[in-house]
Structure formats: C-alpha cells, structure tokens
Structure 1
Amino acid sequence: MVLQGTLVNTIAIIFGGMIGAFLPNIPLKMRDTVMQGLGLAVIIQGILMGLKTENFLLVILSLVLGGVLGEILKIDDKLDQLGHWLERKLGGSKKGNISNAFVTATLVYTIGAMAILGSLNSGLNLDHRLLYLKAMLDGFSAIIFASTLGFGVVFSAVPVLIYQGMIALLAKYIHLLFSQELLDTMIVEITATGGILIIAIAINILELKKINVANMLPAIIIAPIGVILVQWISKLF
C-alpha cells in the first residue's frame, strides 16, 4: 500500500506524543544516546540506497548541480522563514501551550529532506523502509517534545499524514508519463542520490557537521532529468 509508510510514521508520532505527555523531562544523556543510535542506523540506510546507482557520475553531477541550484534559490533559508511565519501565525511563541507544541513538532516532522525522500520512495517503488526509520526518529522525538512542550505534539501527526501522503500518491502516478524501463532507471538514480542526502541527514543527527541538506534537494529532480538526457544522447550516437 502506497501510504503504509506514512501511516506508520503518523501512528508513531501519535503514540510518542501520548507517552511523552505523561512523562517528566527526559534526561539529556538518554536522549542523545538514543538519537545517536538512530543516526547510525540512518547512515547504513543511506549507504544501501547510494550503492544502488548504475551511473555514479550522474549522481555526482546531480548533487553538484542540485546544490548550486539550492544555494541560488536559498531553499534552506526559505524553509526557515516558513517556520518562523507559521510560528507567528499560529501563536507558537509561548512555551508549553498547544500551538507552540503543534508548530514546533510539525516543522521538525515535515520540513526536511527525509519526509520528501521517504514519501517519494514509498510512492515510486513501495519501499517504506526510509519512512519506517523516520517513524522511529519522529516517535522518539515526539516523546521528548511532548514531555517538555505538552500534548499539542500529537496534533502534528495530521499535517504529516497529509503532506507525506500527497507526495507518495503523486509519485505513484509518475509511471503514466514514462516507459517502465526508463522509470526503473530513474528510480534507481533517484534512490542513490537520495541515499547520499540521507547520509547527510544522519551527519546532522549525530551533530558531526551542519549540512544544509534542504539546499541539495534539487538533486532529486536533476537525477531523473539526467537519466532522460543520457538515454536521449545514447540514441543519437
């Protein structure tokens, strides 16, 4: 089922938020240890995805051009501005109230590369493993958020369901535009490019270095375009 990964992610947030709402503040050391373990697991997932490529040069070019485009468009800055705008509109300035908990959790769970990549993976080839990993991350962070911000974290599951569900459903019907052979190749390179971005997300989780993953998201679009160009050029020669 296309929405299976998104549903698991949604349920994890709901249960995590409900558990956290009845727990006192969780020790920082415990939180860091668990997040580090999950970060290492995300690295392995990214490596497995990255190794699927059949044209590593294309992946490199996609990342380079995608990064340049992302920096020009300032995607990371715009997402940050969107987050601040939502906080102002929904009144998320008072620590501990429902709107603050809702806005904070929603931004963490939806505005990020893993939400987009996981949903695309679910829609394109019914591979939900990335969203399962995200569900683990979101579920645990929901416990943390709810223990400090309150029950409003649970309501963030709704925009996650809508946002990721829409991406997955739209991705499912992309096969109507391309032949199955071309689509299979596109999926392979999208997966490989996404895998490298997933490794970058894991590096952020482990706090090894801050990487602006959002600015690299155009690489996910450039990779399939590159596949089409490669096939077109190969037919000419």
Structure 2
Amino acid sequence: MIGPYVNGAALVIGSVAGVLIGPRLSVNIRQQMPMAFGCASMGLGVVMIVKVKFLAPVVLALVLGTLFGEIIQLEGLIQKAAGRARTWVEKIVPAKGTISQEEFLDKYVALLVLFSMSGTGIYGSMSEGMTGDPTLLIVKSILDFFTAPIFASTMGFSVALLVVPQFAIQALLYLGATLIMPLATPDMLADFSACGGLVMLATGIRICGIKQLPVASMIPALLLAMPLSWVWTAFVV
C-alpha cells in the first residue's frame, strides 16, 4: 500500500508549508486561488457525471442519501468535530489567520469531501488494491500538495488533521477492493462515478461561495449508489 501514504504525506506537508508561507502570500492569492480549486472540483464533477449509465438510481441515491444525512445532522456533527479540532490545534499552535469560525467550518466540511472523498481518491485506492498500481493516488497527491497550502494559509494546521479521515477511507477502500470490485459491474461503477461527480460539483460550488450546498449530508449517497444501480439493473431495466 503506497498511494494512501503518499497522499497523506502530501496533505500534511502541504498544510505545514501553507501555515509557514501563509503570511508571505498576498491577500489576492489567498482569496482567488480557492476559486480556482473550486472550479477544478466542479470540472472533475462534470467529467464524472457524464459517465452515468442509469440516471434514475443516481438521483434516487442522492436524494435518499442527503435525506438520511440531514436526519442524522451529519454536517453538524462534522462541524462540531472540526470546531474541536481547531480549538485543540490552536492551543498548541495559535493561528495567525483572521478567518471567522463560521467561514472556517463551512470550508472545512467542503475540504473534507475534496481531500477524502473525491472520485480520484476513491478510484485510486480501489485501483491500487486490485492492481497494485498507485498512479492515480500519486496524481491526486500532487494536486493536494498544491491545494492544501492555500487553505492552510488562512485555516491553520487544522487542515493537516484531514489526513486522518483521508487515510482511513483510502486504506479501507484499498483493503476492501478485492471484495468490492468483483461484485461491481461496469454499469454500477459508472453510476457510482456519476453520484460522486454530483457531490464533487456541489463541493466546488460551495468552495467558490456560490451556494452553501449540504455536501456533508450528501456523503451517504455514495454508499447507496452502487446497490441502487444493481437493483435498477436487475429489476427495472
């Protein structure tokens, strides 16, 4: 298992670098670069969405997953954890940024999805688990290495803590790939990709500040996408 370690190291090193060089970055760079990353997230989302095979189960997964996420108040739980993480980190290393708590929590939720649950990370982990090739995760590592410093320059070392859910998810997918992939048909993977693309699109919109979409509440949709795609194929089509 190479990819998850490389990706985790890129996130941590990039975050630390961002905190250290943050004061030297112009306000314009710190404000405008997240917009570029948001646009990239939206672009990746669109590319993933167009792979859809059956739109109905994808939409159903998104609706049911988001409903479940709202019922259990998933975003609120993540925000509480993020707030505690920020408090804990700033007791050790006081933050130099001026970002408000509300803005911090909004961005932290979006970054959780961007770093831990992007299509590249999910497929890269599963691909390495099946083939031993870490190429996709190494490509993601390069992107994360340049993304993390921009956000860490205003959000502090708390961004580096995202390595915990990132590594946990990638490691589980890597280890479970031999169980998941044989059961997944190309149509199921295509619909899973489309569902992930919708979440990535919502993440990009949120990062750009266009609309505060409930990206955290959408996360359970990823667990429903492939089962619903299978049901649709087996009993409807």
Is contact 1:59–1:189 with CA below 8 Å preserved after alignment? yes
Is contact 2:75–2:109 with CA below 8 Å preserved after alignment? no
- Alignment pair present for 1:43 and 2:38: no
Is contact 1:175–1:183 with CA below 8 Å preserved after alignment? no
Equivalent position of 2:168 in the other structure:
166
Which amino acid is 2:150 matched to?
F
Matches for 1:58-207 after TM superposition, within 5 Å: 58-87=57-86, 90=88, 92=90, 98=93, 108=108, 112-118=112-118, 119-126=121-128, 127-128=136-137, 132-145=142-155, 153=157, 157=160, 159-178=161-180, 180=182, 182-207=184-209
Is contact 1:13–1:142 with CA below 8 Å preserved after alignment? no
Aligned counterparts of 1:56 and 1:100: Cα–Cα separation in 2: 45
216, 227, 230: which is aligned to 2:229? 227
Deviations 1:97-120 (A, max 9, x none): 51658xx89x93897222332342
Compared CA separation, residues 91 and 120, structure 1 to 2 (3 A):
closer
Which amino acid is 2:25 matched to?
I
Which amino acid is 2:37 matched to?
L
Is the partner of 1:24 in helix, strand or coil? helix
Deviations 1:130-158 (A, max 9, x none): 5654443213222444xxx5xxx2x864x
Which amino acid is 2:211 matched to?
K
Which amino acid is 1:108 matched to?
Y
Compared CA separation, residues 174 and 24, structure 1 to 2 (3 A):
closer
Aligned counterparts of 1:218 and 1:17: Cα–Cα separation in 2: 31
Aligned counterparts of 2:22 and 2:148: Cα–Cα separation in 1: 17
Give the C-alpha shift of residue 16 in structure 1. 5.0
Q: Give ranges in structure 1 of 5+ residues lacking alignment.
A: none
Aligned counterparts of 1:30 and 1:179: Cα–Cα separation in 2: 41
Is contact 1:9–1:138 with CA below 8 Å preserved after alignment? no
Equivalent position of 2:51 in the other structure:
52
When the two chains are superposed, the root-mean-square deviation of aligned CA atoms in Å is 3.3
Query: How many residue pairs align between the two structures?
Result: 219
Which amino acid is 2:165 matched to?
Y
Which amino acid is 2:127 matched to?
N
Is contact 2:192–2:222 with CA below 8 Å preserved after alignment? yes
Q: Whose radius of gyration is greater, 1 or 2?
A: 1
Choose 57-66 or 11-20, whichever is displaced more.
Answer: 11-20
Q: Percent identity?
A: 18
Is contact 1:5–1:132 with CA below 8 Å preserved after alignment? no
Compared CA separation, residues 69 and 3, structure 1 to 2 (3 A):
farther
Give the C-alpha shift of residue 193 in structure 1. 0.5
Is the partner of 1:177 in helix, strand or coil? helix
Compared CA separation, residues 63 and 19, structure 1 to 2 (3 A):
closer
Equivalent position of 2:100 in the other structure:
none
